[in-house]
A and B are shown apart, each in its own frame.
Chain A
């Protein structure tokens, strides 16, 4: 595993995709710090909150941006191996398919979560230094809001890893991952219109839509909502891991 980490970090250090990835993160957070307002670059549903929440935690509520950003490391680490067919080099001479999958999964997930936490923590520090306590919360409150999003981020990256091993083609992987949130919202809204009476399924789908979960988990929600969200994330993470493993180790490539 240590060898995989060293090798992948070496390769990522040479990747233009990763340079773009870090520049985008800096741009997103820099706009918030400079304008002292969240959402300079934002995607997903508008924030829904009450009370005086400071700009740093409001920006954490907009971390749905990371849904799209995290496509990049998964692409660079895994999809590129399939695009360039280099996975054969590793499997034929230094490891088994199962180990290849597990090493890639652990590295990509670990790298993504560390970048997610580090980028947000650096944003907190920059905002604190530039804008002072008037625009920043306590570090504890900030990390609590951010920490609530970690299971969701884990589930999403895990899902991306599964899709990368399932499709093994860059164009298909990109298309599906980018379109999924749009498709999800469209289906939920169509269902909302179709369900004339209690609209239970549609409401449930909209409540647990990805950008809504990002904002609610950061800005505050009921314990029931948090527990349900964590349970969904756990389910997605476990299922993605298992399905990805099976699709790579059992299928003929």
Chain B
């Protein structure tokens, strides 16, 4: 069983009367690339600020590397972060900025500066001042900073913002490589779902500060694959009918009113007939093959109901 790197329990953050995050519970294990998905203002950055100590929770707690409270602070040097926009001293070059943080974090291996700059393809711009960087270059330097002291957990808030398509592809490869070769656990937020889908193995969908769903990539694939969606008041009886009368075994009860049937050979009209014959109320039955975006929209729609 993999070690738990980050676990939050009922994590809540209020800014006066505004609720930025409400009872968020999640678990990220060693080697996970954990995607935080949500609209702007959904609470992704607040969540990241909480776990990195930039703000204090109103309620709930988080556990980093098995430590909570003050003990968790001591584990912060095992985390590399890029929260909101990358921030560095404008009058210093990329190399000088990283050198400053090497001194601050007690990193004696100066070769690490060159290595992380190479990882994010900034070697040629190492001696250029940060204030002269483009948005994409700033973003890459932010990622280089997050990787500077070989962290065990990397927290990246919208890391591909401002990157061109080639840089996005390179960044994706770099993150995958770091995860695969060094076993770095990553928490990455983005509203570009396709990019997140390409690298993450676990997803947390958030909207209005609330968790809509936590799913693994396999579960997400299944939910987004072609299926028959059955809406009913009595999912228990409907499931029993599906198994006994139609022989369907590949299905999932999504919630108290929805069942998804993944078997491709059955027809929705046959299922409907069987359910009606067994006195199961069917509100709707239709075929669906949701894209990632559609899935997210559907989740957000359910969350706001």
Instruction: Kindly supply a per-residue 1/0 record for chain B positions 77-99, scoring 1 wherever the CB is within 8 Å of any chain A CB and 0 otherwise.
Output: 10111011101111110001001
User: Which residues of the other chain, A, contact B101 by a CB distance below 8 angstroms?
Assistant: 7, 89-90
The stretch from B49-57, B202-210, B232-240, B295-303 touching chain A is B49-57
A contact patch SS: helix
The stretch from A11-19, A116-124, A150-158, A164-172 touching chain B is A11-19
Interface residues on A, range: 20 to 34
Residue on A nearest B93 in the bound complex, by CB: A14
User: Which residues of the other chain, A, contact B76 by a CB distance below 8 angstroms?
Assistant: 92-96
B35-78 contacts to A (CB < 8 Å): 52-55, 73, 76-77
The stretch from B103-111, B175-183, B190-198, B245-253 touching chain A is B103-111
In contact, B54 and A88 (Cβ under 8 angstroms) = yes
Interface residues on B, range: 20 to 34
User: Which residues of the other chain, A, contact B155 by a CB distance below 8 angstroms?
Assistant: 92
The stretch from A53-61, A79-87, A195-203 touching chain B is A79-87
User: Which residues of the other chain, A, contact B91 by a CB distance below 8 angstroms?
Assistant: 14-16
Within the assembled complex, what's the spacing in Å between the Cα atoms of A90 and B155? Answer: 14
Within the assembled complex, what's the spacing in Å between the Cα atoms of A80 and B90? Answer: 10
Number of A-B contacts (CB under 8 A): 77
Q: CB of A204 within 8 A of chain B?
A: no
Within the assembled complex, what's the spacing in Å between the Cα atoms of A85 and B103? Answer: 19
A70-124 contacts to B (CB < 8 Å): 80, 84-86, 88-97
Within the assembled complex, what's the spacing in Å between the Cα atoms of A86 and B15? Answer: 23
In contact, B92 and A91 (Cβ under 8 angstroms) = no
* Given known A-B contacts A88-B87, A92-B79, A94-B76, A14 and B104 have beta carbons under 8 A apart: no
Residue on B nearest A103 in the bound complex, by CB: B104
Residue on B nearest A95 in the bound complex, by CB: B76
Residue on A nearest B85 in the bound complex, by CB: A85
In contact, A7 and B104 (Cβ under 8 angstroms) = yes
Q: Shortest beta-carbon distance, A13 to chain B, in Å?
A: 10
Residue on A nearest B16 in the bound complex, by CB: A252
In contact, B92 and A89 (Cβ under 8 angstroms) = no
User: Which residues of the other chain, B, contact A84 by a CB distance below 8 angstroms?
Assistant: 87-90
In contact, A11 and B55 (Cβ under 8 angstroms) = no
User: Which residues of the other chain, A, contact B103 by a CB distance below 8 angstroms?
Assistant: 3, 6-7, 10
User: Which residues of the other chain, A, contact B92 by a CB distance below 8 angstroms?
Assistant: 11, 14
Within the assembled complex, what's the spacing in Å between the Cα atoms of A97 and B76? Answer: 12
In contact, A91 and B89 (Cβ under 8 angstroms) = no
Interface residues of B (CB under 8 A from A): 15, 52-55, 73, 76-77, 79-81, 83-85, 87-92, 96, 99-101, 103-106, 145-146, 149, 151, 155
Q: List 10 A-B contacts (CB under 8 A).
A: A6-B103, A14-B91, A16-B91, A80-B89, A86-B87, A89-B87, A89-B145, A91-B53, A93-B81, A253-B54
> Which 8 pairs from chain A and chain B are nearest by CB?
A7-B103, A85-B87, A92-B52, A7-B104, A92-B81, A6-B103, A86-B87, A96-B73
| Other 19 A-B pairs with CB < 8 A, given A10-B99, A92-B53, A95-B76 | A3-B106, A4-B104, A11-B89, A11-B100, A80-B89, A85-B87, A86-B87, A88-B54, A89-B87, A89-B88, A91-B52, A91-B53, A92-B76, A93-B81, A93-B105, A93-B151, A94-B104, A96-B53, A253-B55
